Amino acid sequence: MDISDMAQRIAAGERRALARAITLVESGRADHRAQATALLAALGTEKQALRIGLSGTPGVGKSTFIESFGLMLTKQGLRVAVLAVDPSSSRSGGSILGDKTRMDLLSRDPRAFIRPSPSQTHLGGVARRTREAVALCEAAGFDVVLIETVGVGQSETVVAQMADLFLLLLAPAGGDELQGVKRGIMEMADLIVVNKADGDLKATATRTQADYAGALRLMRARPQDPKGFPCAMTVSALEERGLPEVWEALQTLSKWRRDHGFWELTRATQARYWFEDAVKTRLLAQLESPDARRALSALSDAVAAGEQEPAAAAEAFVRELRVEGA
């Protein structure tokens, strides 16, 4: 594979080259990982898009919101990339859902690019190489990158380590709405959007938004937020109401953070996080070598038979790894 040629084609905005590059960074093969690293280095980090992370409970209307929101942005002349992380099949490892089938109009928009990726059982729901896919989309000249995650849970907060802004999508009439305040994900949200504010649920959505707005005012202020943020809003993705207000709020917050130095600080903190994550991944990969597996199996049998204490066996295994790595 000609890395230099692929880098030039991606920088020129060629969609097929971008799709091939994302497939490359998602691969776990050692030769593919080496090529992906070289490609990312060749592309550099000069181009920067607005990265928006989205999460929400299943059925809240994330795909409908993303399609309506994305179409609104493309009509304004912006190029939008959507990295939709699908639940993975435990049998095949592929995506169970197909986001392109649920974003039919946006997937046909020439200014939009949608890439569903299997979550590959990765903690946090965000696919293992989504961060690198974001970098590729930025290099291809996209103005906005939307990162959709699988459902909501404590582990979903990993999306905050690759997004500039984090949007939490909620549905009205979801039971005790204020139970959501207990989730750590609430503390990381920059904007809470109550979807489905239409029809019979419009009044309920307004009450839900008021509940969350009150709860946000009680939370401890964050240094990276101007007055009035984080905030709660209502939208109807189906009727395309409230979307311009959401975009205006995101732009206001983004500009304030840029002007006050929090944008660069956040990006630097995220880079440090992903560096440490890459180091941990490489260290864990050493456990998968044939020699390491044999040593681990032998010591595991000894512990199970009561011949060694778990702590002593672990220490012996680590010493053996150090000798092999020396």
Question: Per-residue pLDDT tens for 81-116?
Answer: 999 876 555 565 555 555 556 788 998 999 999 988
Find, among 270, 243, 222, the residue nearest to 169 by Cα. Answer: 243
Distances (CA, A) of 72 to 75, 146, 194, 220: 5, 13, 18, 33
Tell me whether the CATH fold assigned to 1-44 matches the one assigned to 46-259: no
Whether 128 and 156 have beta carbons less than 8 Å apart is answered as no
Other Cβ atoms within 10 Å of 14 Cβ, number = 15
Residues 90 and 121: their CA atoms lie apart, in Å, by 8
Describe the strand order of the beta sheet including 112-118 as a list of residue ranges. Answer: 112-118, 80-86, 144-148, 50-56, 165-170, 191-194, 231-234
Domain borders along the chain are: 1-44, 46-259, 289-325
Whether 100 and 117 have beta carbons less than 8 Å apart is answered as no
Whether 172 and 146 have beta carbons less than 8 Å apart is answered as no
Other Cβ atoms within 10 Å of 230 Cβ, number = 24
Q: What angle do CA 114, 32, 159 make, to 5 degrees?
A: 45
pLDDT, tens only, 147-194: 987 665 544 667 778 899 999 888 887 655 555 544 567 778 899 999
Listed in sequence order, the residues at least 6 apart from 25 whose beta carbon sits closer than 8 Å to its beta carbon are 36, 39, 40, 129, 132, 133, 136
**In the CATH hierarchy, which fold is given to the domain comprising 1-44?**
1.20.5
Query: What is the residue-wise DSSP string for 25-53?
Result: HH---HHHHHHHHHHHHHH-S----EEEE
Find, among 144, 120, 150, 145, the residue nearest to 133 by Cα. Answer: 145
pLDDT at 151: 60
Among 3.40.50.300, 1.20.58.100, 3.30.750.24, 3.40.50.150, name the CATH number for the domain at 46-259: 3.40.50.300
Residues facing residue 85 across a β-bridge: 117
With 0-12 CB in 10 A as exposed, 13-18 as middle and 19+ as buried, what is 239? Answer: middle
Which stretches of the chain drop beneath a pLDDT of 70?
Answer: 86-101, 118-128, 150-157, 174-184, 324-326
Residues 252 and 217: their CA atoms lie apart, in Å, by 19
Query: What is the residue-wise DSSP string for 212-235?
Result: HHHHHHHSPP-TT--TT-SEEEE-
pTM here?
0.85
